[in-house]
């Protein structure tokens, strides 16, 4: 399980870089959602929010997702990507 510090840093990174598409609540309803096909993922739902698929989430951030608008983020360090993953997995819907 990720530390609270990693989740908090990941939340800051998410707000600055990801919320524009994925939404402030990570529900896929960001400002840039319109016109994206497929729309941005709702990150509060599995597999994205599931700790058991954290590696998949890491790779989606690092390498992007083919046939979607999700770009690769090579500028993030591995630590920053893991912090983003920690934040995303903390959002799991009840």
Predicted TM-score (pTM) of this structure: 0.92
The answer on pLDDT for 1 being more than 60 is no
| Residue 29 forms part of a structural domain | yes
| Residue 65 forms part of a structural domain | yes
| Residue 83 forms part of a structural domain | yes
Provide mean pLDDT across the span 47-51. 90
Here the CATH number for the domain that contains residue 20 is: 1.10.760.10
Q: What is the DSSP string of 28-91?
A: S--TT-TT-SSPPP-TTSTTTT-GGGHHHHHHHHHH--TTSS----TTS-HHHHHHHHHHHHTT
| Residue 28 forms part of a structural domain | yes
Query: What pLDDT is attached to residue 2?
Result: 77
Domain that holds residue 21: 4-89
Number of domains in the chain: 1
| Residue 8 forms part of a structural domain | yes
| Residue 94 forms part of a structural domain | no
Query: What pLDDT is attached to residue 58?
Result: 97
Query: What pLDDT is attached to residue 94?
Result: 55
- Report residue 92 CA to chain centroid gap: 12
Q: Where are the beta strands (DSSP E) in the chain?
A: none
């Amino acid at each position: 399980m990720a530390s609270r510090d990693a989740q908090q840093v990941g939340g800051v990174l998410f707000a600055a870089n990801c919320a524009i598409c994925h939404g402030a609540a990570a529900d896929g309803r960001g400002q840039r959602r319109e016109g994206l096909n497929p729309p941005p993922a709702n990150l509060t739902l599995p597999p994205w929010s599931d700790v058991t698929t954290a590696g998949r989430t890491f790779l989606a951030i690092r390498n992007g997702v083919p046939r979607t608008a999700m770009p690769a983020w090579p500028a993030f360090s591995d630590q920053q990507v893991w912090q983003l993953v920690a934040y995303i997995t903390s959002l799991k819907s009840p």
